[in-house]
Amino acid sequence: MNRKTIKLNSVWMQELTWQDVNEYLKKNDIAIIPVGSTEEHGPAGPLGVDSYAAIALAEDIAKQSGVLVTPPIWFGDSSHHSAFPGTISLRPTTLIEIIKDVSKSLARHGFKKILIINGHKMSNLPALTIATKELHEYELHDVFFGIIDPWKIARKISTEIKSTNEHHSGELELSHVWYKYPRLIKKNKLTTKKVNFEKIFSKYSNDDLFGGGGELIDILWNSYEQRAFAPTGSFSASNKASSEKGKKYHDYMVEVVVDFIKWLKTYKGPIGNTVPKK
């Protein structure tokens, strides 16, 4: 824990008083916003997999770095999963507006460095990128924004851990939730089956979010098509998932981001000073 950080009972802002946050802001200016989704994750994973991933990472990173976390955003852009009950999706424009409103509320009181931890991988990234790019350019010039995603910070470790191709409801993300929230994974529903992407979407598709080196062409599918090609909701084999794998995956990502925040605390903008205003 950063010694400069005052003693607070929680890293979660919803568990603190406004005066706690006020004290925090006298010496600190970093906030983490965890963003996930509420969408089907096959027969073995709960609807909240992506949110739990973001929450678990945010909490452990915040504890080790001495920074605060906002309440999680449990919904994301999940339209392509909408053919499954329980999926609750935001339109990208709604997610953009939520990120903007939360960020502006934080900035108003002195948070200057905002990190979004996204558990929903590429499905949320377009909205998160548009929201933060527009804020940083047009409204909050002097606020730093960073977007953190397992898809990008676990590239190296994922290939060491996983035994098969990782896509939606795969071995890695289910292991992650298994490690942190073991009661939420239905172990007897883990599967050996996977969607044959090449057969459905040509050889220019990729069924491994953490690998695959070929040329890619993005083909968009809707929720009706998804329910047809992945009737259980699972895209990847998950039978080799385990709590141990989840721990290795989680700890590695926490270490990466804690190291990043150590750097961020000293960062004063790209020209070595505060980011210029208009």
- From the list 184, 186, 216, the residue with the least C-alpha distance to 198 is 216
50 part of the interface to Zn ion, by CB under 5 A = yes
Could you tell me the smallest distance in angstroms from the CB atom of residue 192 to Zn ion? 19
Could you tell me the smallest distance in angstroms from the CB atom of residue 36 to Zn ion? 8
| Piece of 82-90, 101-109, 168-176, 261-269 that binds Zn ion (CB under 5 A) | 168-176
- CB distance 148 to 33 below 8 Å: no
Residues 102-161 that bind Zn ion (CB under 5 A): none
| Piece of 48-56, 71-79, 224-232, 246-254 that binds Zn ion (CB under 5 A) | 48-56
| Piece of 14-22, 157-165, 173-181, 199-207 that binds Zn ion (CB under 5 A) | 173-181
Could you tell me the smallest distance in angstroms from the CB atom of residue 121 to Zn ion? 6
Residues 199-258 that bind Zn ion (CB under 5 A): none
Position of tokens 């200057």?
A: 112
Task: Please give the Cα distance from 276 to 278 (Å, whole number).
Answer: 7
Nearest residue (beta carbon) to Zn ion: 50
Tokens representing 63 are 């504890």
Residue 111 or 235 having the CB closest to Zn ion: 235
Residue 29 or 50 having the CB closest to Zn ion: 50
Q: Is 162 exposed, middle or buried (0-12, 13-18, 19+ CB in 10 A)?
A: buried
Task: Please give the Cα distance from 120 to 109 (Å, whole number).
Answer: 28
Query: What does residue 71 show for φ and ψ, rounded to 5 degrees?
Result: -55, 145
Angle between helices 243-264 and 49-65 (to 10 degrees): 50
Could you tell me the smallest distance in angstroms from the CB atom of residue 41 to Zn ion? 6
- From the list 238, 143, 123, the residue with the least C-alpha distance to 188 is 238
Could you tell me the smallest distance in angstroms from the CB atom of residue 50 to Zn ion? 4
Residue 166 or 173 having the CB closest to Zn ion: 173
Residue 100 or 194 having the CB closest to Zn ion: 194
Size of the site for Zn ion (CB under 5 A): 3
Residue 66 or 119 having the CB closest to Zn ion: 119
Residue 41 or 248 having the CB closest to Zn ion: 41
Task: Please give the Cα distance from 11 to 45 (Å, whole number).
Answer: 27
Could you tell me the smallest distance in angstroms from the CB atom of residue 39 to Zn ion? 7
Tell me the C-alpha to C-alpha distance, in Å, between residue 73 and each of 32, 113, 181, 224.
11, 18, 18, 26
Residue 28 or 234 having the CB closest to Zn ion: 234
144 three-class SS: strand
Q: Which residues bind Zn ion (CB under 5 A)?
A: 49-50, 173
